[in-house]
Homo-oligomer: A and B are copies of this chain.
């Protein structure tokens, strides 16, 4: 469906060629300062056309809050938000309309709904993400104000070029598995990097990769894809800091399960990894387990490594939550592709116009805001549990 969340819930509407796209946010805490500018920040970061590396269409994407606030303060009632579409008319018919675009949603939307929208893939359009980003921006603001939670995403790989921080002896070693000498799969320097990275640093480059040398090579890779009338994929890594313990609901709504759901609902995603991820599955428990340590300042327990990615048994443990999302190369390319028309006849398709050769830089705010939606909902459910328990006469 087009709804996400239990207590903090967003419902979105809109496709490419209708009047507007937008959302309704239910469950927003009352009494919070909120203006359109709070929301606009992430919408602007999401907007295409911000550099030569992304598609040059200039969408305005101004958000208009319809309800739920008065004098800049939330009422606790649903927040309606909308962004007008610039291009409200279905496009003119062309030969391209005879084709289901390869690896696009044209074919599956037609199979599902039995109606051919002029935009082809209907809600699979990237414009659909506007509603999520707007909702998530509200969640982000609350989490920052109430808990000091910081959510920072960045481009961690483009094609085969990755930030060279993650690798340990373990993962860089040969494919054989003859040794019993393992390091923790996530390096201390990478954990430190995750601990310190800021959105300001991320936004310093249009590629949104905060590692200068890798950023340069990624930009070149995207440029090469564009020059080839081709495209390229990549990964986005996101860290959530200052997370309270206790978030995530056993058994089906583990915090990593909800994050996976959220991330894999973003268009073009192919993979989700929490903490040490797939690489972490290659090492023994003795290398992967995160030993507990007592924080000398707070006296609270924490862990000295963080292969778990901030979650154990599906519940946040107070360490940084971090995860990596894979995005495939965009399906729309100028290069000629042999394929088949709806009527079964063969042909060759080559997309006209300019298209985004790589989505990962624009995906940054989408990943951050979807993460905020997950954490916000988990916070609200856990706050209910804490408050309800504390009302018991025998509560500790």
Contact = CB atoms under 8 A, between A and B. Distances in A.
Closest 10 CB pairs of A and B: A105-B313, A233-B281, A124-B313, A384-B384, A13-B80, A108-B315, A261-B261, A231-B285, A76-B113, A160-B177
Nearest to A231: B285
Given A123-B250, A257-B261, A160 B145 contact: no
Contact of A114 (B111, B260, B335, B389): B389
Interface string A237-266: 000000001101111111011111111110
Contacts of A107: 292, 301, 312, 317
Given A6-B7, A19-B65, 15 more contacts: A1-B9, A2-B250, A22-B66, A108-B315, A122-B250, A123-B251, A132-B251, A159-B282, A232-B283, A235-B278, A252-B262, A256-B264, A271-B278, A272-B273, A273-B326
B27 A1 contact: yes
Interface in A104-146: 104-105, 107-109, 111-115, 117-118, 121-124, 128, 132, 142, 145-146
A180 interface: yes
A282 B160 contact: yes
A392 B29 contact: yes
B22 A80 contact: yes
A118 B70 contact: yes
Contacts of A248: 108, 112
Most buried by B among A11, A12, A337: A11
Interface string A1-27: 111101101011111011111111011
Given A161-B177, A261-B260, A313-B267, A112 B18 contact: no
Contacts of A198: none
Given A111-B317, A331-B285, A66 B2 contact: no
A49 B288 CA distance: 24
Contacts of A123: 77-78, 250-251, 313
A53 interface: no
Contacts of A299: 344
Contact of A285 (B1, B254, B333): B333
Interface in A42-68: 64-68
A246 B327 CA distance: 22
A163 interface: no
A329 B170 CA distance: 14
Contact of A253 (B265, B331, B392): B265
A303 B108 CA distance: 12
Nearest to A81: B13
Contact of A252 (B4, B232, B331, B337): B4
B66 A13 contact: yes
Contact of A68 (B13, B272, B395): B13
B124 A250 contact: yes
Given A2-B26, A177-B159, A308-B103, A384 B380 contact: yes
A217 to B, nearest CB: 8
A382 interface: yes
Interface stretch (A30-38, A189-197, A205-213): A30-38
B290 A109 contact: no
A15 B393 contact: no
A123 B76 CA distance: 10
Interface in A318-347: 318, 326-333, 335, 337-340, 342, 344
A157 B118 contact: no
